[in-house]
Amino acid sequence: MPDSQLIAARHVSTRVDHPAVRWMLIVLAVLVVGVLIIVPVINVFAQAFSAGWTTYWTSLLADADTRHSILLTLIVAPISVAANVVFGVAAAWAIARFRFPGRTLLTTLIDLPFAISPVVAGLLIVLIFGLQGYLGPWLREHDIKVIFALPGLILATTFVTLPFVARELIPVMEAIGPEEEVAAVSLGANAWQTFWHVTLPNIKWGLLYGVVLCNARAMGEFGAVYVVSGRIDGLTCTMPLRVEKLFQQLRHDDMAGSFALASILTLLALVTLAAKVSLERKTRGELAEAAATKIVGAEPLVAETVGTSA
């Protein structure tokens, strides 16, 4: 008889609520999620396809500006994600593997972009790189465009999605512990070999999880890019911006185009969610595995103590 099963079964009786209460609460919860989440998601697709498949595809592909917005998002998001992966791995290595003064401050700084309104984030970038910004005159002299151009979009998106990878990796690396890496170094591995052969295999699912979340937010980012982009069709409109632009034009055809584009973004969200669920299971596995090897490693010690006391 496994103990856990016994305990699980044992505690049920006093914690069980009356069936009527139970079912009422379940129905209420399903209703809340239904109205707030499920109905809107279904509605996006319903409106996107309301005029049939042909209209759907035309409104997506026949419009050059919409096509450009998809392309632009596919350029901006991967660059931001890549930058944040490099940063996230470096930050996690420094914070999870070393103790140093200011470590807590650093962790707080990493979280900061979550606390800043995207609009304010966009404003901060405008303040530096805008025409009247601190670097404005210098940039104009050298004919570099940041605001109302691709670099601005990338900067804004990177800022807003900065914490995702690092926040995901730090707890994973702390839970796994430095033992395996110390072992690798003691066996003569250099920094790169240690990272590539020991650390990365251990954190791969956690890293991927961070990448998935970071990417979803990068593709969907609105407020910050809204401010820095100037929303120039065919030039600086990413997918979410294009959705808004079409929506604001208040023409029937444009509404259909808006929902068609939104349906692509919704699909992206659903894929992200599915990936998230399966990756969560894998990261849990990663941590459980790390815990298991530690226990196995400790076993001879336990046996020894028992042996001497017996």
Partner 1 sequence: MATTSRRVLPGFTASLSVTILYLTVLVLIPLAACVMKTLSLSPAEFWAAVWTRQARAAYEFSIGASIVSALVNCVLGLLIAWVLVRYEFPGKRILDSLVDIPFALPTAVAGLVYSSLYVERGWLGQFLVPMGIEAAYTRLGVVVVLVFIGLPFVVRALQPVLESLEVEAEEAAAMLGASRWQTFRWVIVPLILPALVTGFSLSLARALGEYGSVVFVSANRPFVDQIAPMLIVAKLEEFQYGEATAIAVVLLIMSFALLIAVNVLERWSKRHYA
Partner 2 sequence: MSIKVDNVTKRFGDFVALDNVCVEAGGGALLALLGPSGSGKTTLLRVIAGLEAADAGTIYYKDENVTSQTARERNVGFVFQHYALFRHMTVFENVAFGLRVRGWSRERIRARVSELLKLVRLDSIEHRYPSQLSGGQRQRVALVRALAIEPKVLLLDEPFGALDAKVRQELRQWLRRLHDELHVTSIFVTHDQEEAFEVADQVVVMHDGRIEQDGTPHDVFEHPANAFVMDFLGNVNVFHGRLQNGHAHVGGLELEYPDYPHSEALQAKVYVRPHELDLDYARGANGSLKARVERVNPAGSVAKVFVLSEEFGIGVHVELSLERYAELNPRPGDTVYVSPRRVRVFVPAAEEGPEYVI
Interacting partner of 240 out of partner 1, partner 2, none (Cβ under 5 to 8 A depending on kind)? partner 1
Binding marks (x or -) toward partner 1, 51..80, rule CB under 8 A?
Answer: ------------------------------
Shortest CB 15 distance to partner 2, Å: 10
99 belongs to the binding site for partner 2 (CB under 8 A): no
Task: Please tell me whether residue 104 binds partner 2 under the rule CB under 8 A.
Answer: no
To partner 2, the closest distance from the beta carbon of 305 in angstroms equals 19
9 makes contact, choosing from partner 1, partner 2, none, with CB < 5 to 8 Å by partner type, with partner 2
149 near partner 1 (CB under 8 A): no
Stretch that binds partner 1, among 40-48, 138-146, 201-209, 295-303 (CB under 8 A): 40-48
By the rule CB under 8 A, 14 interacts with partner 2: yes
- In this chain, which of 9, 115, 250, 310 binds partner 1, going by CB under 8 A? 115
Cβ count near 217 (within 10 Å)? 18
Q: In angstroms, what is the minimal distance from the CB of 111 to partner 1?
A: 7
Residue 79 interacting entry, from partner 1, partner 2, none, C-beta within 5 to 8 Å by type: none
305 belongs to the binding site for partner 2 (CB under 8 A)? no
Q: Which residues of 249-267 are buried (b: 16+ CB within 10 A; e: fewer)?
A: eeeeebbbbbbbbbbbbbe
Stretch that binds partner 2, among 7-15, 81-89, 106-114, 276-284 (CB under 8 A): 7-15
Q: Is 16 in the site for partner 2 (CB under 8 A)?
A: no
Question: Would you count residue 243 as binding partner 1 (CB under 8 A)?
Answer: yes
Residue 3 vs 143, nearer CB to partner 2: 3
- Asked if 151 interacts with partner 1 (CB under 8 A), we say no
In one-letter notation, the amino acid at residue 30 is: V
Q: Are 272 and 213 in contact (CB under 8 A)?
A: yes
Q: Which does 6 bind (CB under 5 to 8 A by kind): partner 1, partner 2, none?
A: partner 2
Using CB under 8 A as the binding rule, whether residue 9 contacts partner 2 is answered as: yes
Q: Does 308 bind partner 2 (CB under 8 A)?
A: no
Q: Is 6 near partner 1 (CB under 8 A)?
A: no
CA diameter of the chain:
86
Q: Site residues (CB under 8 A) for partner 2?
A: 1, 5-6, 9-10, 13-14
